[in-house]
Structure 1
Amino acid sequence: MTMPSYPPKPSPGDRIAVISPSAGLPGLFPLPYELGLERLSMEYGLEPVEYPATRKMGSTPQERADDIHAAFADPTIKAVIASIGGDDQITVLPLLDRELIRANPKPFFGYSDNTNLLAYLGNTGIVGYHGGSVMCELGRPGAMDPLTAESLRAALFTSGPYELRPAQCFGDVDGPWEDPATFDSEPPMEPGNGWTWHRPERVVEGRSWGGNIEILSWLLMADREIARDPSVYEGHVLFLETSEDMPKADDVFWILRSMGERGLLRRFPALLMGRPKAWSFAQPNEADAKARYAREQREALLRAVDIYAPDMMVVVDVDFGHTDPQIVIPYGGALRVDGPARRITVTY
């Protein structure tokens, strides 16, 4: 496994590639997408550059691979950001030219199905950024959440340590993207409950690895971008999150159990678990059901850890992944988890 290094950062005024390595949802929902483009330009001072498949639903894996190659190969493009996630980016990975991408390292921002490309970049020797998408974070109705905006700005433009802090309030209820009225006000929020620490007796420093747990399970099944020798992850900090598909607690446990049986879990001295999204249009949970879903997922997580990595320090409900606000986590970058001080610091 190649130890990833940080690619050069963009500056305001630079061009940033906007690609859809998974689903071409900008073509179906232009309102959040075009709002996100506007904020990239007006609030971050970057010039968005679209590619042939960016707004194309049903694009082929080869078309999306071509866009990735074009974005990385263009010397005038200084960073790359995904429009959104999806569910079939794993089919793009075999079509990618690793040497082309390695020769043109750039910061890539995305999460969810983009865990595929983040893992690929990490194995190519490039630190990526788990978080930030044009349609969700930049295209948030009303305004970007300040915590999201601050983290994304730091990850885009700065290098060095960045201390995470718990969100004072959070939300996971969405409005319909096809309705212009959705964008007249910010989404509903509720009071944050902070992070919960388990076995916080030590300080752990290591490279980060992980991402969306459902995508990692697919990569494990396809035997792609996850080392067959689990010892390469020794001392890394594991970070995991779940998607708007809202996997059941049993599913989370079974995935973690498989990782444990493979010998993966015990390699990580610390685990950060993202705040779970507990509401979707398919399952519009009320408050009690949301709390129950989050509690059952937390219990499943800790049950697997107690079996396979009983000394692991665990922090749950960290504000990354499919949650609002969202903090960017460097993928393959340095991460420090200070249990006694209850502090988490990433290096952008």
Structure 2
Amino acid sequence: MPQVLIRPPKARPGDRIAVLSPSFAAAGAYPAVHEQAMRRLAELTGLVPVEFPTTRRVGASAAARAADVNAAFADPTIRAILTVLGGDDQITVVPHLDANLARADPKPFLGTSDNTNLHQWLWSAGIASFYGGSSQVHLGPGPGVDDVHARSLCAALVTGEQLEVTDPGESEDFGVDWGDPRALESFGEREPTEPWSWYGPARSVTGPTWGGCLEVIEWVLTAGRGPVSPDALAGGVLLLETSEELLPARNVGWIVRALGERGILGAVDAVLVGRPPVSDHARRPPAEERRRLRTGQRDVVAGLVGQYNPDAVVCVGVPFGHTKPQWILPHGGIVTVDGAGRRVHADYT
């Protein structure tokens, strides 16, 4: 049977929100961007950001970072949790976490990338969360906060309404280096987005979401975490997106194929695939090559889902995950993927 998750109550203006670094403490490495992010977080949501001992401590141990997560769930005055950034070692934090604390006082949790580990931990504990939100990427840099991010951030944390997930029309893979003062006032190099690609039957699917960063999902499943059985995902919506590691399409295909062999592709009724980054500070291919790289990922994922589950509705290019502007999406909450109307709606209650 599909797993039914608790949806934590929303915070209220004036409540305290924990801002944590369960992975890399970018807040300590680049404090100016972090401090601008905290001001904008308070202005947008009406919440009061609260830092914990490792929020700015670069190199903090896994146990110390886990202690902050546990403390945030244990503190009754903390009504939501937002992560600063991802990283690459949060998988070592999870064994130190106490699921009983999260179950005793569920709170909205927001994060992306390496925080897929914490989303899976919460999902296994029976608690829904929100995939997206990285204060160092989406709140701190640039002249302001993108509209789609601001609206989904407020919906996830405070207001809880239903929103249509739309294409903002532009995207960037990376921004100005956070060590450069211009990062506080300038976005990165943005380019027009392409129309989303749709596959599968012209039907509408509404169901709970599961997924995250594809590379981290591979780690989570290798560690024996995540769904015990694909049946827990039956009728749901699979969220897949790739990181700034810029995996070639064939590597993406290898992981997605393994999800098919595990039964995950066959269990879900719809798949949303994020717009992938195809460049970084060191590598910026020409525009035509960037399009080719995105098309390669699109084709391999859509082809594999079609092989394992031809009845699934698939939409590729949705702006969530490692892209900016970014939509925050429910994880364990409800999303509607309408293959007939070619629209996506998310329920943030």
Shorter-chain TM-score above 0.5:
yes
**CA–CA separation in structure 2 for the residues paired with 1:184 and 1:77:** 30
Deviations along 1:45-98, one digit per CA (max 9) or x if unpaired, are 221110111111111111011000111111111100001000111111111111
SS in 1 for 2:45: coil
Give the TM-score normalised by the residue count of structure 1. 0.96
Instruction: Within 5 Å, give how 1:9-158 maps onto structure 2.
Output: 9-158=10-159
Instruction: Report the CA distance between 1:2 and its aligned residue.
Output: 4.8
Instruction: Within 5 Å, give how 1:209-248 maps onto structure 2.
Output: 209-224=210-225, 226-248=226-248
Aligned length: 347
**CA–CA separation in structure 1 for the residues paired with 2:266 and 2:298:** 18
Deviations along 1:247-281, one digit per CA (max 9) or x if unpaired, are 11111100011111112111111100000011112
Q: Is the 8 A contact 1:272 1:314 kept in 2?
A: yes
SS in 2 for 1:244: coil
Q: Which residue number in structure 2 is paired with residue 298 of structure 1?
A: 298
**Which stretch has the larger CA shift, 330-339 or 176-185?**
176-185
**Which stretch has the larger CA shift, 276-285 or 315-324?**
276-285
Q: Which residue number in structure 1 is paired with residue 192 of structure 2?
A: 191
Deviations along 1:230-256, one digit per CA (max 9) or x if unpaired, are 111111110110111111111110001
**CA–CA separation in structure 1 for the residues paired with 2:154 and 2:20:** 19
Gaps of 5+ in 2: none
**CA–CA separation in structure 1 for the residues paired with 2:139 and 2:201:** 34
**CA–CA separation in structure 2 for the residues paired with 1:172 and 1:139:** 16
**CA–CA separation in structure 1 for the residues paired with 2:174 and 2:56:** 25
**CA–CA separation in structure 1 for the residues paired with 2:306 and 2:152:** 32
- Percent identity between the two aligned chains: 44
SS in 2 for 1:43: helix
Give the TM-score normalised by the residue count of structure 2. 0.96
Q: Which residue number in structure 2 is paired with residue 338 of structure 1?
A: 338
After TM superposition, where is structure 1 displaced by more than 3 Å over at least 4 residues in a row?
Answer: none
Q: Is the 8 A contact 2:175 2:187 kept in 1?
A: no
Q: Is the 8 A contact 1:4 1:123 kept in 2?
A: no
Q: Which amino acid aligns with 2:215?
A: E
Q: Which residue number in structure 2 is paired with residue 208 of structure 1?
A: 209
**CA–CA separation in structure 2 for the residues paired with 1:30 and 1:160:** 33
Q: Which amino acid aligns with 1:292?
A: R
Gaps of 5+ in 1: none
**CA–CA separation in structure 1 for the residues paired with 2:228 and 2:217:** 14
Instruction: Report the CA distance between 1:187 and its aligned residue.
Output: 2.7
Call closer, same or farther: CA 1:200–1:188 in 2, change over 3 Å.
farther
**CA–CA separation in structure 1 for the residues paired with 2:282 and 2:103:** 40
Task: Name the Cα RMSD after superposition.
Answer: 1.3
